Amino acid sequence: MAINSKITDILEAETGAKSYKAHKYSLDNEMRPTVDYGGESNENIWKRTMETTIYKAPIDLSFLAHKLSANEEQLFTYFLDGSRRVYKVDHQGYAASGTGSRMEIYPILAGQIGIGCCKREDKKMKKEKFITETVISVPDKADADGKNGFFPALAKKINNSSEDLQRLNLEIDTVLSYSTRKDVKNDKEYEDRATARIQDRMIEKEKEMVSTLVREEKLNQNNYLIKDGSLEYRPTKEDRKDKRKLIKFQKNYAWVLGASKSFNPSACLDINGKPNPGFIANLPLYHRTPVACFSNPSIFGDMKFAVWYIRIRDQAKTRTPFDGIIKIEKMLTTDDENMYGMDSDLVDTLSALIINERNPVCYGADLRWANHIYPMFLTENFVKSRYISTDSFLQLF
Amino acid sequence: MMKMQPIGRVLATEKHPTTIDKFCFWTDANLKLHAFDVVKVERADGSFTYGVIENISHITDAQSFLTNYISSDFGNAEINAPTLRIGMNYVDAKVSFNNKNNETPVHNNDKVFLATKEEIVAALGLDKIKNPLVCGSLRMYAGTRNEVSLPVNLDGKFLLGPEGAHLNISGISGLAAKTSYAMFLLKAVQDCGMKKNEEDDEERTTAFIIFNVKGQDLMAIDQKNECEGNEQEKEKIQKQYVALGLSPEPFKNVKYYVPYSSERSSKQSTYLNSTDMANYIRHGQLKKYKYTYEDDKESIEMMFSNIDDPQQTMESIIAKIIDENDMDFKSLTIWNEFLEKVSEKAQKSDSKGPKDEISILSWRKFKRIVNKALKNDDMFANRADKGRNECRLSDEIKQIKAGEIMVIDIAKLPGDKQSFVFGDSLRTVYDLKQDVFDNEPNVNPPDRIVVFIDELNKYAGKDTPKNSPILRGILDATERGRSLGVVLFGAEQFRSDINNRVTGNCSTHAYGRTNAIETTKGDYSSIPSTYKNMLTRLEQGEYILQNPIFRSLLKIRFPKPIYKQFK
What is the per-residue DSSP string for A178-210? E---S--SSTHHHHHHHHHHHHHHHHHHHHHHH
Residue B18: helix, strand or coil by DSSP?
Answer: coil
Dihedral through CA B106, CA B111, CA B112, CA B117, nearest 10? Answer: -100
pLDDT band at A37; cut points 50, 70, 90: very low
- The whole-angstrom distance between A357's CA and the closest CA on chain B is 6
Which DSSP helix (H) or strand (E) runs through A389? none
Work out how many CB contacts closer than 8 A connect A with B: 64
- Chain A residues in contact with B14 (beta carbon < 8 A): none
Residue type present at position A165: L
Integer Cα distance of A7 and B345 in angstroms: 106
**Closest partner residue to B71 among A124, A353, A360, by Cβ?**
A360
Integer Cα distance of B397 and A362 in angstroms: 75
What average pLDDT is seen over chain A?
Answer: 84
pLDDT band at B194; cut points 50, 70, 90: very low
- The whole-angstrom distance between B36's CA and the closest CA on chain A is 30
Which DSSP helix (H) or strand (E) runs through B42? strand B38-42
Look at residue A60 in the predicted model and tell me its pLDDT: 94
Residue in A with minimal Cα distance to B78:
A70
- Chain A residues in contact with B84 (beta carbon < 8 A): 123-124
A284-305: per-residue pLDDT in tens?
Answer: 999 999 898 887 777 777 778 8
- Chain B residues in contact with A76 (beta carbon < 8 A): 82
Dihedral through CA A227, CA A228, CA A231, CA A234, nearest 10? Answer: -80
Integer Cα distance of B447 and B443 in angstroms: 13
pTM value is: 0.75
Residues contacting B481, CB < 8 A, separation 6+: B161, B165, B166, B430, B433, B487, B488
Cα atoms found within 13 Å of the Cα of residue A379, Cβ hemisphere only: 29
* Contact call for residues A292 and A47 (beta carbons, < 8 A): yes
Query: DSSP class of residue B283?
Result: T
The count of residues in chain A is 397
- Chain A residues in contact with B80 (beta carbon < 8 A): 69, 72
- B68/A360 touch (CB, cutoff 8 Å), yes or no: yes
Residue B70: helix, strand or coil by DSSP?
Answer: helix
pLDDT at A34 over 50: no
Dihedral through CA B75, CA B81, CA B84, CA B87, nearest 10? Answer: -10
First to last CA, chain B: 47
Q: What is the mean pLDDT of residues B463-472?
A: 84
CA A321 to chain centroid: 24
Per 3-state DSSP, chain A is made up of helix, strand and coil in percentages (nearest 5) of 35, 30, 40
- The whole-angstrom distance between A370's CA and the closest CA on chain B is 10
> Which residues of A touch chain B, with CB atoms under 8 Å apart?
69, 72, 74, 76, 120, 123-125, 314, 317, 353, 356-365, 374-375, 378, 381
* Contact call for residues B349 and B314 (beta carbons, < 8 A): no
More confident residue, B109 or B303: B109
More confident residue, B151 or A272: B151
Look at residue B196 in the predicted model and tell me its pLDDT: 43
A223-239: per-residue pLDDT in tens?
Answer: 999 998 887 666 666 66
More confident residue, A151 or B193: A151
- The whole-angstrom distance between B112's CA and the closest CA on chain A is 21
Which DSSP helix (H) or strand (E) runs through B260? none
More confident residue, B62 or B352: B62
* Contact call for residues B271 and B216 (beta carbons, < 8 A): yes
In this predicted complex, what is the ipTM?
0.75
- A124/B63 touch (CB, cutoff 8 Å), yes or no: no
- Chain B residues in contact with A72 (beta carbon < 8 A): 80, 82
Residue type present at position A21: K
Neighbours of B176 (CB within 10 A): 26
pLDDT at B353 over 60: no
Look at residue A326 in the predicted model and tell me its pLDDT: 93
Which DSSP helix (H) or strand (E) runs through B31? none
**Closest partner residue to B63 among A357, A364, A374, by Cβ?**
A364
* Contact call for residues B334 and B382 (beta carbons, < 8 A): yes
- Chain B residues in contact with A73 (beta carbon < 8 A): none
Neighbours of B418 (CB within 10 A): 21
Residue type present at position A258: G
**Closest partner residue to B67 among A76, A356, A364, by Cβ?**
A364
Q: Which segments of B107-217 are extended strands (E)? A: 111-114, 132-140, 148-155, 167-170, 206-212
Look at residue A235 in the predicted model and tell me its pLDDT: 65
A185-201: per-residue pLDDT in tens?
Answer: 777 788 889 998 998 89
* Contact call for residues A139 and A180 (beta carbons, < 8 A): yes
Burial A244-274 (b: 16+ CB within 10 A, else e): eebeebbebbbbbbbbbbbbebebbbbbeee
Residue B134: helix, strand or coil by DSSP?
Answer: strand
Mutate which: B28, B30, B70, B78, vs A, most A CBs within 10 A: B70
- The whole-angstrom distance between B175's CA and the closest CA on chain A is 43
Residue type present at position A163: E
Helices (H), A16-111: 62-70
Cα atoms found within 13 Å of the Cα of residue A247, Cβ hemisphere only: 6
- Give φ, ψ of B361 to 5 degrees: -60, -40
* Contact call for residues B394 and B197 (beta carbons, < 8 A): no
> Which residues of B touch chain A, with CB atoms under 8 Å apart?
61-64, 66-68, 70-74, 79-86
Residue in A with minimal Cα distance to B70:
A361
Lowest mean pLDDT among A175-179, B194-198, B238-242, B270-274: B194-198
Integer Cα distance of B208 and B403 in angstroms: 7
Mutate which: B83, B108, B109, vs A, most A CBs within 10 A: B83
What DSSP string runs through A92-143? EEEEPSSSS--EEEEEEEEEEEEEEEEEEETTEEEEEEEEEEEEEEEEGGGS
pLDDT band at A31; cut points 50, 70, 90: very low
- The whole-angstrom distance between B51's CA and the closest CA on chain A is 28
B160-187: per-residue pLDDT in tens?
Answer: 888 888 999 999 887 878 999 999 999 9
Integer Cα distance of B167 and A141 in angstroms: 84
Residue type present at position A205: K
* Contact call for residues B558 and B176 (beta carbons, < 8 A): no
Look at residue B1 in the predicted model and tell me its pLDDT: 46
Sign of CA dihedral B298, B304, B308, B314: negative
- B83/A375 touch (CB, cutoff 8 Å), yes or no: yes
- Chain A residues in contact with B74 (beta carbon < 8 A): 314, 317
Integer Cα distance of B148 and B193 in angstroms: 28
Per 3-state DSSP, chain B is made up of helix, strand and coil in percentages (nearest 5) of 30, 25, 45
Look at residue B15 in the predicted model and tell me its pLDDT: 92
Look at residue B27 in the predicted model and tell me its pLDDT: 93
- Chain A residues in contact with B61 (beta carbon < 8 A): 362, 365, 378, 381
* Contact call for residues B96 and B38 (beta carbons, < 8 A): yes
- Give φ, ψ of A381 to 5 degrees: -70, -35
Q: What is the mean pLDDT of residues B365-379?
A: 85
**Closest partner residue to B74 among A125, A317, A356, by Cβ?**
A317
- Chain B residues in contact with A359 (beta carbon < 8 A): 71-73, 79, 81
- Beta-strand relationship, B22-27 and B6-11: antiparallel
Integer Cα distance of A378 and B88 in angstroms: 14
Mutate which: A359, A362, A368, A392, vs B, most B CBs within 10 A: A359
Residues contacting B69, CB < 8 A, separation 6+: B75
- Chain B residues in contact with A69 (beta carbon < 8 A): 79-80, 82
- Chain B residues in contact with A125 (beta carbon < 8 A): 83, 86
Residue B562: helix, strand or coil by DSSP?
Answer: coil
| Long-range contacts at B104-107 (CB < 8 A, ≥ 24 apart) | B104/B20, B105/B12, B105/B17, B105/B18, B105/B19, B105/B20, B105/B23, B106/B10, B106/B12, B106/B18, B106/B23, B106/B41, B106/B43, B106/B49, B107/B10, B107/B12, B107/B18, B107/B43, B107/B44
Q: Which segments of A234-324 are extended strands (E)? A: 256-260, 287-288, 292-295, 304-311
Integer Cα distance of B368 and B482 in angstroms: 38
Integer Cα distance of B546 and A384 in angstroms: 46
Burial B188-206 (b: 16+ CB within 10 A, else e): bbbbbbeeeeeeeeeebbb
